[in-house]
Structure formats: C-alpha cells, structure tokens
Amino acid sequence: MAVIEFINGANKTYGAMKRVIEYITNPAKTETHLVGGHNCDVNNAYHQFVLTKRHYGKETGRQYIHFTQSFAPYDKVTTEDVKEIADKLVQMEAFQGFQIAYAVHTDKDHLHTHFVVNTVNSETGLKWKQSAEQLQMLKDFSDDLCRDKGLIITEGHKGARINRGEYRTKEKGQSWKYELFLAVKESVHSATSKDEFIAYMNKFGYKVDWRDERKYISFTTPEGKKCRNRKLYPPERFTKENLLKTFEMNKQYQDKKILNDRIELLFNVLRLLPDDMNHVYGKYPLTRLEGEALNDRLNELKKGKGLEWDHQHESEL
C-alpha cells in the first residue's frame, strides 16, 4: 500500500523552493530515470516555477506544495512501478495546469516519491487551493493506482474517517451505518458507472434509490434501516457528483478486469464466512473483515484454501 502525506511549512521564499527541488532531485537519493516533470522540465523546474509566478504577478505567499507517496518495506513493488504510479498520479484533473517536479527516492528502506507543486497554475494563474474533499480524492486515486499494481489496500481507524460516536460504536462491532459505509466504499472503488455501483450494492444486500429528480441517494440495509448518502462520513465524499466523477476516473484509469476480479473475490470471501448471525460480526461481515483481517483472508484464498485461484489472478491482486 502507499501513504500520501502532505509536508507542512510556510514555504514563502524562493530559496526554500529551490532547496526542496534540489533535495528531491539529489543524485544521492534517486536516479535519472526515476525523476519526472509535469508541465515543466524537471531539470529546470525552479526557474520555470519562478517565471510562472512572475508572469501572473503572484510571487508572494506560499510558493510550493510538498507531499510524498510512501510504500511499505514489505510491498513487492519495483522502482519502475513506483515511478509509473507517480506518472499517473500527476495526471489527475486536480493537477491540470500545475507544474510538478517529482522523484522516486531509493535511499531508505522503503521506496517513496517526493512531489513539489508550484502553487500558481501555469494555465490559469490561479493559486493552489484544494478542499478536504479533493485531497481525499487524491488519496483514493493513489489507492486505486496501487490496486492496479496488485497492492492490497488496508485501512485502519484513521482511514475510516468516521465521527467519534460512530467510531465508538464501530469498536463494539455494532454499527450498521459503518457496515453500510464499507459497502459503499468497496462498491465505489470498483464501479465504472452508476448502474454498476447499484448492482454491487445489491450484491452486498443493500437497496439503492438513486433518482435524478432527488437530491440525495437513499440506501436500505438488509435489516430495513434507511440512510441517505449525506449521513455517511465525510458527506462531501459521497455526493452524487463525486461518485459519478469517481466512476469516470475508474473507467479512464483503471483496468476493468482487475477492478472486477477484486470485488468478486470479496464477494467470495463473504460467502465463505460462517453464518453466525447470533454474533454482532455475523450481522456486519465487512466490519469483521476490515483491515488486516481482510488482508489475511484474501491471502489465504490466494493460496488456494476455499477457492480455486489461478496464477494469472494471483499476479493481479
């Protein structure tokens, strides 16, 4: 899995911007074929950043955004894979027109990519301003790119992004709303259209009322409980507009077979779980399987326990 981390700092001087670009492209930390530039020449990125700022008369304030994408030491991923993931990440719509210098670093026990973004857009002159919703979409897209390389994404409590009360209930294994959240999240990750999303939710046991004339989407749980998309946390992540954008991004950038294989594998996992409805986790199987538990179960199945698995699929997951 990969973790996106934004590095804080005032970054209000050209000197700081020059130093960070020199740092990420330092030959002692990376190699020539592992550096890249989006909307700029990475070898001349500093000067091009400055020219853009001067052209639009925006030389004050924050000069750059610095973030990293880090991979765990146990990830079976090559430097070329990490560079390819970075190349695709900067193609996101959020980065359109922004100049980005980036480089894969190999000097630590884990591979990681540094990205430096010019805060002034070279096409519009507007300054970088991303909402929490857009930053979450960046992290979600990063996860999708990792899945495309066969890396299984696991999310702990921080990744869940639920409110405190819902979190406490989830810890007891009793939250039907958190179970719904997980079903929606898994369906969104794999769907390439509204109809496909609804079909996946139906397979998880949920009814979906998504009509154009209504502002919100309504979900009905297998037990008959109802919930609108605005009640899922964070609500801005699950608006109709954001879901449709995600489906389109999945269609454009993801391998359809890999997306389908992963969610079908999850359905197989759920079918093989003991039918223990007397236990709270029997009612909420996705909650039971979340994180490492799901990871372990997937690995178990990939070894051939309980489900036939061919080498082609194994290389893709």
Phi-psi region of 150 (alpha: psi -120 to 50; beta: other; left: phi over 0): left
- Domains of the chain in sequence order: 2-129 (3.30.930.30), 157-316 (no CATH)
pLDDT for position 222? 92
pLDDT for position 284? 82
Long-range contacts of 172-178 (CB under 8 A, 24+ apart): 172/280, 173/280, 173/281, 173/284, 173/287, 173/288, 174/280, 174/284, 175/284, 175/287, 176/221, 176/223, 176/225, 176/283, 176/284, 177/227, 177/231, 177/232, 178/284, 178/287
Instruction: Report the predicted TM-score, pTM, of the whole model to 2 decimal places.
Output: 0.52
pLDDT for position 290? 63
pLDDT for position 74? 66
pLDDT for position 119? 95
Helix-helix angle 256-272:176-190, to 10 degrees: 150
Cross-strand partners of 36: 102
In terms of DSSP H, where are the helices of the chain? 14-24, 45-56, 79-89, 132-148, 157-160, 164-171, 176-190, 194-203, 240-253, 256-272, 280-283, 285-289, 292-302, 311-316
Written as tens digits, the pLDDT of the chain (317 aa) is 577 877 755 567 789 999 999 999 999 999 999 999 999 999 999 999 999 999 999 999 999 999 999 887 767 788 999 999 999 999 998 899 999 999 999 988 788 999 999 999 999 999 998 777 777 788 888 888 887 777 655 443 333 333 434 434 444 445 788 889 889 989 998 999 999 999 999 999 999 999 999 999 999 999 999 999 988 876 777 899 989 998 998 888 778 888 888 898 888 888 877 665 444 446 788 877 765 455 555 555 444 433 333 333 333 32
pLDDT for position 101? 97
CA neighbor of 5 nearest in space, from 198, 142, 127, 163: 142
